[in-house]
């Protein structure tokens, strides 16, 4: 990709996806400002860049008062593009504490957009989620499918998308929303019961512990590898202003949780019990994306199928 060298703000830049995006942007030659409150992001995720003068790390809550710290950074060297990834990432946690999800996931987006509008940023790219669809009739799901989210998390991701579209329309701020399917890869936190299923299965299998599948395990997800997601994000950041989205970012392939458990055990060469537990409430049954729009508008194609991504995780 040929891009001029610019300064990119990555909110949530110490998180799972954010830190991979930071790696990628620095590798492309850009300067990067990370904004992270380290509530779920980790310093070790970006520790490999310690001493790199092109990286500035600001510790702040995305839903708090951002302006002073960002204004200072911007005055030193203008921030021209923003990848907004800072968020509470758990669907289950949003059902337990919807107000906190609203504060961070919708409120944080609005604060970032306000700052970007005032500083004439050239593009804001946003990490939305397939959770905006809810239980859709059409699977694989195209972007034009009706959105009927069934969690506060999905509702707040959807309202954030609407805010991005509004700022593009009303304020002329170029924005792109990307709807991520189920992202997986190295650095995904496995420590909470709300963590991504692949990170949990991987950690348990490596420790020789049985895997727990919630419900019958026939629910399906479109698992997309983090290197593909950061590719889509970089393309979105440098895309033309008329690419507003929302655009699905997935593989277009659905995998059941039962198939996933078998694939993890196969890739790790482990023989462990797979147990079933009660199904989770507030969950989407099937989730899989039609990926044509991102291909047409961003030239994006997921390069990793599930087992290739799982195999890469072993070496980390």
Active site residues: 153
Q: Which CB sits closer to ligand UD1, 31 or 230?
A: 230
| Residues 90, 141 contacting (CB under 8 angstroms) | no
Q: Which CB sits closer to ligand UD1, 31 or 255?
A: 255
Q: What is the nearest approach in angstroms of ligand UD1 to the Cβ of residue 90?
A: 5
Instruction: Say which residues have a Cβ less than 8 Å from residue 31's Cβ, sequence separation at least 6.
Output: 5, 6, 7, 8, 54, 55, 56, 77
Q: What is the nearest approach in angstroms of ligand UD1 to the Cβ of residue 153?
A: 7
| Cα dist from 94 to 102, 148, 161, 211, whole Å | 9, 16, 18, 24
- Count Cα neighbours of 223 within 13 Å in the Cβ-side half-sphere: 23
Name the residue number minimizing CB distance to ligand UD1.
129
Closest CA to 155 of 116, 117, 128, 184: 128
Q: How many CB atoms lie within 10 A of CB 153?
A: 26
At 232, list the tokens: 């889509």
Q: For residues 113 and 167, give the distance between their C-alpha atoms in angstroms, rounded to a whole number.
A: 7
Helix ranges (H only) for the chain are 16-27, 67-76, 91-96, 98-101, 108-118, 152-171, 197-206, 226-237, 257-268, 292-298, 306-314
Q: What is the nearest approach in angstroms of ligand UD1 to the Cβ of residue 195?
A: 6
Q: Is 205 helix (H, G, I), strand (E, B) or coil?
A: helix
Q: Which CB sits closer to ligand UD1, 22 or 197?
A: 197
At 79, list the tokens: 């921030």
Q: What is the nearest approach in angstroms of ligand UD1 to the Cβ of residue 227?
A: 16
Q: What is the nearest approach in angstroms of ligand UD1 to the Cβ of residue 225?
A: 13
Q: What is the nearest approach in angstroms of ligand UD1 to the Cβ of residue 89?
A: 4
* Residues forming the site for ligand UD1 (CB under 6 A): 89-91, 129-131, 181-182, 194-197, 200, 212-214, 219, 221, 257, 280, 283, 287
Q: What is the DSSP-derived secondary structure letter of residue 105?
A: I
């Amino acid at each position: 990709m040929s891009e001029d060298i610019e300064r990119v703000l990555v909110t949530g830049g110490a998180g799972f996806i954010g830190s991979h995006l930071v790696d990628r942007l620095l590798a492309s030659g850009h300067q990067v400002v990370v904004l992270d409150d380290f509530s779920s992001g980790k310093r070790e995720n970006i520790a490999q860049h310690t001493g790199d003068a092109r990286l500035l790390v600001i510790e702040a809550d995305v839903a708090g008062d951002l302006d002073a710290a960002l204004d200072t950074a911007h005055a030193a060297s203008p921030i021209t593009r923003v990848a907004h990834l800072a968020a509470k990432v758990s669907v289950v946690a949003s059902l337990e504490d919807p107000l906190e999800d609203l504060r961070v996931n919708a409120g944080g987006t609005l604060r970032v957009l306000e700052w970007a509008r005032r500083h004439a940023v050239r593009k804001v790219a946003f990490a939305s989620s397939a959770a905006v669809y809810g239980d859709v009739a059409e699977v694989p799901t195209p972007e034009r499918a009706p959105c009927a989210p069934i969690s506060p998390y999905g509702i707040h991701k959807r309202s954030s998308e609407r805010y991005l579209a509004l700022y593009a329309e009303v304020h002329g701020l170029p924005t792109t929303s990307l709807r991520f399917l189920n992202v997986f890869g190295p650095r995904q936190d496995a420590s909470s019961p709300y963590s991504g299923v692949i990170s949990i299965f991987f950690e348990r299998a490596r420790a020789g512990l049985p895997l727990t599948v919630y419900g019958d395990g026939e629910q399906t997800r479109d698992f997309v590898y983090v290197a593909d997601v950061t590719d889509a994000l970089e393309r979105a950041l440098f895309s033309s202003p008329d690419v507003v989205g929302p655009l699905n970012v997935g593989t277009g392939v659905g995998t059941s949780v039962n198939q996933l458990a078998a694939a993890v055990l196969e890739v790790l060469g482990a023989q462990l019990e797979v147990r079933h537990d009660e199904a989770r409430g507030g969950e989407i049954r099937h989730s899989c994306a039609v990926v044509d729009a991102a291909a047409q508008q961003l030239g994006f194609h997921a390069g990793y199928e599930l087992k290739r991504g799982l195999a890469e995780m072993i070496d980390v």
